[in-house]
């Protein structure tokens, strides 16, 4: 059974701080990694994807991937109250499947 | 309409009822998915369809019956459900390849009494 692990939180940070969200995965052969944001009562929406080791930046969001450690993280700089949501890490298993394995999600609260 | 749509958005049904959930995608994708999201659990993949063919059935009970008449439409037929089946049911679509982004519909909030 392929697994994706996240700290369920809740993670609470003050407005303007950096929020750091972490995810580990069990399938060493996975090649692509996704971060979805899910507001309460809404469906998940993709905010970042990363395929290579290192950092990928998009606005205030930075995804970091370390395949050797089977670890992917999401940093949110200058956190805003509107960033308060549950963040889901998703990883497709090795083997050519289009399916995704999701973590349980980390609930982030940004306090004004 | 754009993106992925789902109807109904909310559904209350008794254990003896039969109902269907509908999903439609307007993105030109060929892969469609049903997920179940229960409180405090990860998103659970139920079914995957690729070019109208079912490619994944994640050990889902037979009281859930999917149907994919074409690449744009996906149904989930429900019958004799149990209260523990109450959850948010999400439909998603993507291009049919590994690592492609999945786009989610708004979901159907189901309550089984």
Q: Which residue has the tokens 């998103």?
A: B43
pLDDT for res A96:
54
| Residue A70 backbone zone (phi > 0: left; psi -120 to 50: alpha; other: beta) | left
CB pair distance less than 8 Å for A43 and B48: no
Q: pLDDT tens digits, residue range B48-66?
A: 998 888 888 888 999 999 9
In angstroms, what CA-CA distances link B63 with A24, A76, B60? 34, 42, 8
Each residue's pLDDT expressed in tens, for chain A with a length of 112 residues: 678 999 878 999 999 999 999 999 998 888 889 999 999 989 999 999 999 999 999 999 999 999 999 999 999 999 999 999 999 999 887 765 667 889 999 999 999 9
Q: Which residues of B touch A27 (CB under 8 A)?
A: none
Compute the distance between CA of residue B11 and CA of residue B20 in angstroms, rounded to an integer.
10
Asked if B94 lies within 8 A of A98 by C-beta distance, the reply is: yes
CB A19 within 8 A of CB A104: no
Over residues B76-96, the pLDDT tens digits come to 999 999 999 999 999 999 987
Which residue, among A44, A48, A72, A87, would best test binding to B if mutated, counting the most B CBs under 10 Å from its CB?
A: A44
Residues of B in contact with A30 (CB under 8 A): none
The alpha carbon of residue B82 is apart from the nearest alpha carbon of chain A, in Å, by 22
- Please tell me the distance from the alpha carbon of residue A51 to that of residue A94, in angstroms, as a whole number: 13
């Amino acid at each position: 059974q392929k697994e994706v692990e996240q700290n369920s939180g809740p993670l609470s940070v003050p407005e303007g701080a950096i929020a750091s969200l972490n995810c580990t995965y069990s399938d060493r052969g996975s090649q692509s990694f996704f971060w979805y944001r899910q507001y309460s009562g809404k469906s998940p929406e993709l905010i970042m994807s990363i395929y290579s080791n290192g950092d990928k930046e998009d606005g205030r969001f930075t995804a970091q991937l370390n395949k050797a450690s089977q670890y992917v993280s999401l940093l949110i700089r200058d956190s805003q109250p509107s960033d308060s949501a549950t963040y889901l890490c998703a990883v497709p298993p090795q083997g050519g499947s289009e399916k995704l394995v999701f973590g349980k999600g980390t609930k982030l609260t940004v306090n004004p | 309409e754009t993106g992925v749509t789902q109807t109904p958005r909310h559904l209350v049904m008794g254990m003896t009822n039969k109902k269907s959930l509908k999903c439609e995608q307007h993105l030109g994708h060929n892969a469609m998915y049903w997920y179940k999201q229960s409180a405090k659990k990860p998103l659970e993949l139920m079914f995957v369809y690729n070019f109208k063919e079912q490619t994944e059935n994640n050990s889902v009970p037979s009281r859930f019956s999917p149907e994919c008449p074409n690449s744009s439409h996906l149904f989930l037929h429900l019958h004799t459900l149990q209260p523990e089946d109450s959850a948010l049911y999400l439909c998603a679509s993507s291009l049919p390849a590994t690592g492609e982004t999945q786009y989610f519909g708004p979901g159907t909030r189901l309550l089984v009494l």
